């Protein structure tokens, strides 16, 4: 009989050494640019230097004659080969409820470039140096057009139109909440606090630049893309659509990823281009961004202007909240553009009893790089909106900001509590959480510290925010995950997860779950992710869901392994399956010492 395996030092919730680190600190990680395939060609892109320009002519004759050049391709070649446009968001509405304009976005700009960095010509050569040299020989004649970069400027009458089909530059309008009730409450409120603020545009700038390696197998007719991406399965779906092939003919593989923060959550033109070029040339094609290129082509984050109004009663009770956001979506309405302004709006309710809330997001086209999810994707902005306007109200009314918050906190006795917008909280002791934070910050001693700072001609302030946010969302569209666990004949374990890792240590976390549930030491657990062929479906990584959703899938898969193991063990020891218990890697008959180890059950299963 096998001895039980003790794994108490590598269980859920314990601090352990990360399994990924030995290979990463030795330089043995495999990032997208590390993928090198036989006969691999190298691609670079000529990009628009203008924020808005008409592409008059492209003279590629000199570039095609440069040493090592294999192909120089334009939007005309894309269209001739029947490659589709990148997907737009077709579910949005304009202010009059008419469908929003789904912006056509070919992988290479056709007729007009709409932001600096828009790809115009793809040059492929034997080496990257040769491709860059050939790029310099291109003669592209641009006619610069009026451009607009800021959302406020884009909404002014007479502003240059990014798209003729949207002359007012409004990409979409999304509303939620009680418009009339909020207007009535604000009109009757004893005091209305107002605040406008801008959250500036940011570039994600991960340590690893974006890269893509495409290959095409003429025997099977299958495309394979190697790239750092948060959701390989979702990317496979989108690529199949653009390439106009069944999903079974597309494979997406993600290895190690050097940071994403939401920026790698969708499809990019370069992914399509390397696959298309690989098919045309009959050999793999690699593209790797440089840092300058990344700043104008990686999806940006934030860039919104918010107007917030909070109505209060004479006693300081919150009566209503109105939030209006102008969200700069950039030059194209992608499937990710609206998310930061619409998916997490429930967060503006915060942890307060505000009964009536109305929220409106207006997406605005500008001649800038498209925006998308980044570090919370609207959740930090929602928290800032409610917490900032509370501070303004407290200052205007001469009320202590902590006291004003305390008066309006949702009491734990009110759970479950339906907020004024979207969320229903099933539990929460928000006052206790705030008190713990105040205690840890020594709020009672703050005035003494501020006086001491003044004596040194320094200023000391105190900020407070009761943040609450959805994890594993979006809340209104549940996105499940998949995991598969295989116990091999020698009782080692292979775990396939639909969640990917962007550097957070998911490999270690998933191994901890399996070690805890199956009693297998970590050195006998192999965690695999990022290959759309290895698992039928996968959520990917995003929305703080890798462990909450992906980890839950691993737990469910572990439970199924135990259930099946109990049935097999029952046959082996001639007992009823319901009498078998599993603990520390061993199946035993309840109340006896009769049993078998996981290794014996695994061998029997095969």
* Domain identity same for 420 and 486: no
For residue 156, being part of any structural domain is answered with no
- For residue 452, what are the contacts with CB-CB under 8 A and spacing of at least 6? none
* Domain identity same for 260 and 346: no
Confidence at 104, pLDDT banded by 50, 70, 90: very high
Dump pLDDT digits (tens) for 166-200: 999 999 999 999 999 999 999 999 999 999 999 99
* Domain identity same for 255 and 304: no
Domain total of the chain: 3
Please give the C-alpha separations between residue 250 and each of 41, 78, 88, 336, in angstroms, as whole numbers: 20, 18, 20, 22
Mean pLDDT, the chain, rounded, equals 93
Please give the C-alpha separations between residue 425 and each of 178, 403, 414, 415, in angstroms, as whole numbers: 19, 22, 10, 7
Confidence at 593, pLDDT banded by 50, 70, 90: confident
- The answer on pLDDT for 353 being more than 80 is yes
For residue 469, being part of any structural domain is answered with no
For residue 36, being part of any structural domain is answered with yes
Please give the C-alpha separations between residue 204 and each of 294, 321, 489, in angstroms, as whole numbers: 9, 31, 44
CA–CA dist 11, 22 (Å, integer): 20
* Domain identity same for 62 and 134: yes
The full 3-state SS of 211-235, as one line of letters, equals EEEEEEECCCCEEEEEECCCCHHHH
Q: Using alpha carbons, select from 542, 563, 554, 471 the residue that is nearest to residue 500.
A: 542
Highest-pLDDT range among 71-75, 371-375, 499-503: 71-75
* Domain identity same for 225 and 362: no
Domain final residue, candidates 413, 440, 455 = 455
Per-residue confidence (pLDDT) for residue 1, from 0 to 100: 37
Dump pLDDT digits (tens) for 446-465: 999 999 999 999 999 999 99
Q: What CATH number should be reported for the domain holding residue 328?
A: 3.30.365.10
For residue 519, being part of any structural domain is answered with yes
| Mean pLDDT within 330-337 | 95
Per-residue confidence (pLDDT) for residue 36, from 0 to 100: 96
- For residue 591, what are the contacts with CB-CB under 8 A and spacing of at least 6? none
* Domain identity same for 278 and 312: no
* Domain identity same for 176 and 248: no
3-state secondary structure of 241: helix
Domain final residue, candidates 266, 288, 310 = 288
- The answer on pLDDT for 4 being more than 80 is no
DSSP state of 12: T
* Domain identity same for 340 and 443: yes
Confidence at 25, pLDDT banded by 50, 70, 90: very high
| Mean pLDDT within 230-236 | 94
CA–CA dist 114, 122 (Å, integer): 17
For residue 10, being part of any structural domain is answered with no
CA–CA dist 381, 385 (Å, integer): 6
For residue 131, being part of any structural domain is answered with yes
* Domain identity same for 392 and 323: yes
Full domain range(s) for residue 540: 21-25+478-605
Strand partners for 326:
305, 362
Per-residue confidence (pLDDT) for residue 7, from 0 to 100: 45
* Domain identity same for 343 and 375: yes
Burial of 551 (0-12, 13-18, 19+ CB in 10 A): buried
* Domain identity same for 43 and 181: no
Confidence at 474, pLDDT banded by 50, 70, 90: low
Dump pLDDT digits (tens) for 490-538: 999 999 999 998 888 899 999 999 999 999 999 999 999 999 999 989 8
Dump pLDDT digits (tens) for 119-172: 999 999 999 999 999 999 999 999 999 999 999 999 999 999 999 999 999 999
Per-residue confidence (pLDDT) for residue 475, from 0 to 100: 64
Strand partners for 417:
425
* Domain identity same for 91 and 129: yes
The model's pTM is 0.92
3-state secondary structure of 251: strand
For residue 9, being part of any structural domain is answered with no
β-strands 586-589, 580-583 pairing: antiparallel
Beta strands in 37-177 (DSSP E): 41-47, 53-59, 69-73, 112-113, 119-125, 139-144, 170-177
Domain final residue, candidates 227, 260, 288 = 288
Instruction: Quote the tokens at residue 348.
Output: 């503006």
Residue pointed to by tokens 């050999």: 283
Strand partners for 121:
46
- For residue 219, what are the contacts with CB-CB under 8 A and spacing of at least 6? none
Confidence at 9, pLDDT banded by 50, 70, 90: low
Per-residue confidence (pLDDT) for residue 477, from 0 to 100: 65
Per-residue confidence (pLDDT) for residue 469, from 0 to 100: 84
3-state secondary structure of 338: coil
Confidence at 8, pLDDT banded by 50, 70, 90: very low
Per-residue confidence (pLDDT) for residue 306, from 0 to 100: 95
Confidence at 415, pLDDT banded by 50, 70, 90: very high
For residue 254, being part of any structural domain is answered with yes
């Amino acid at each position: 009989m096998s001895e039980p395996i003790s794994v108490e030092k590598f269980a859920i919730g314990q601090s352990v050494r990360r399994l990924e680190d030995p290979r990463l600190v030795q330089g043995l990680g495999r990032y997208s640019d590390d993928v090198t395939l036989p006969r691999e060609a190298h691609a670079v892109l000529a990009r628009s230097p203008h924020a808005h320009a008409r592409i008059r002519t492209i003279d590629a004759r000199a570039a095609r004659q440069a040493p090592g050049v294999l192909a120089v391709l334009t939007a005309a070649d894309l269209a001739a080969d029947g490659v589709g446009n990148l997907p737009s968001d077709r579910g949005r509405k304009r202010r009059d409820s008419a469908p929003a304009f789904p912006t056509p976005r070919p992988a290479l700009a056709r007729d007009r470039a709409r932001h600096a960095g828009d790809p115009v010509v793809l040059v492929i050569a034997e080496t990257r140096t040769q491709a860059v040299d050939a790029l310099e020989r291109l003669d592209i004649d641009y006619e610069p057009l009026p451009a607009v970069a800021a959302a406020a400027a884009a909404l002014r009458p007479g502003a240059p139109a990014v798209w003729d089909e949207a002359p007012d530059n409004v990409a979409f309008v999304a509303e939620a909440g009680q418009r009339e009730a909020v207007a009535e409450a604000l009109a009757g409120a004893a005091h209305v606090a107002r605040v406008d603020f801008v959250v500036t545009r940011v570039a994600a700038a991960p340590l690893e630049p974006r890269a893509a390696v495409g290959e095409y197998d003429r025997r099977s007719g299958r495309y394979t893309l190697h790239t750092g991406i948060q959701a390989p399965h979702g990317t496979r779906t989108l690529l199949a659509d653009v390439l106009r092939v069944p999903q079974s003919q597309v494979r997406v593989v993600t290895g190690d990823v050097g940071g994403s923060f939401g920026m790698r959550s969708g499809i990019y033109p370069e992914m399509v281009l390397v696959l298309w070029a690989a098919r045309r040339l009959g050999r793999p094609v690699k593209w790797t961004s440089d840092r300058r290129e990344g700043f104008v082509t990686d999806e940006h984050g934030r860039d919104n202007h918010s107007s917030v109004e909070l109505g209060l009663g004479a006693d300081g009770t919150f009566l209503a909240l109105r939030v209006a956001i102008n969200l700069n979506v950039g030059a194209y309405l992608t499937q990710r553009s609206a998310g930061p302004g619409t998916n997490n709006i429930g967060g503006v309710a915060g942890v307060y009893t505000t009964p009536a809330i109305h929220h409106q997001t207006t997406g605005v086209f500008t001649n800038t790089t498209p925006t998308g999810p980044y570090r919370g994707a609207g959740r930090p902005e929602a928290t800032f909106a409610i917490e900032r306007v509370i501070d303004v109200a407290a200052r205007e009314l001469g009320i202590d900001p902590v006291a004003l918050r305390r008066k309006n906190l949702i009491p734990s006795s009110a759970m479950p509590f339906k907020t004024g917008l979207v969320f229903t909280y099933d539990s929460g002791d928000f006052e206790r959480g705030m008190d713990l934070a105040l205690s840890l910050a020594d709020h009672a001693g703050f005035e003494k510290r501020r006086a001491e700072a003044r004596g040194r001609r320094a200023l000391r302030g105190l900020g407070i925010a009761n943040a609450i946010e959805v994890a594993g969302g979006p809340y209104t569209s549940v996105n499940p995950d998949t995991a598969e666990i295989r116990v091999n004949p020698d009782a080692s374990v292979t775990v396939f997860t639909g969640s990917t890792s962007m550097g957070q240590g998911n490999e270690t976390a998933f191994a901890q779950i399996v070690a805890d549930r199956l009693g297998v030491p970590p050195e006998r657990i192999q965690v695999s992710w990022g290959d759309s062929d290895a698992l039928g479906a996968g959520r990917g990584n995003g929305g703080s869901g890798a462990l909450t959703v992906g980890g839950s899938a691993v737990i469910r898969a572990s439970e199924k392994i135990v259930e099946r193991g109990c049935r097999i063990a029952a046959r082996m020891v001639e007992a009823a399956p319901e009498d078998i218990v599993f603990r520390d890697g061993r199946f035993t008959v309840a109340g006896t010492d009769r049993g078998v180890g996981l290794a014996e059950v695994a061998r029997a299963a095969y």
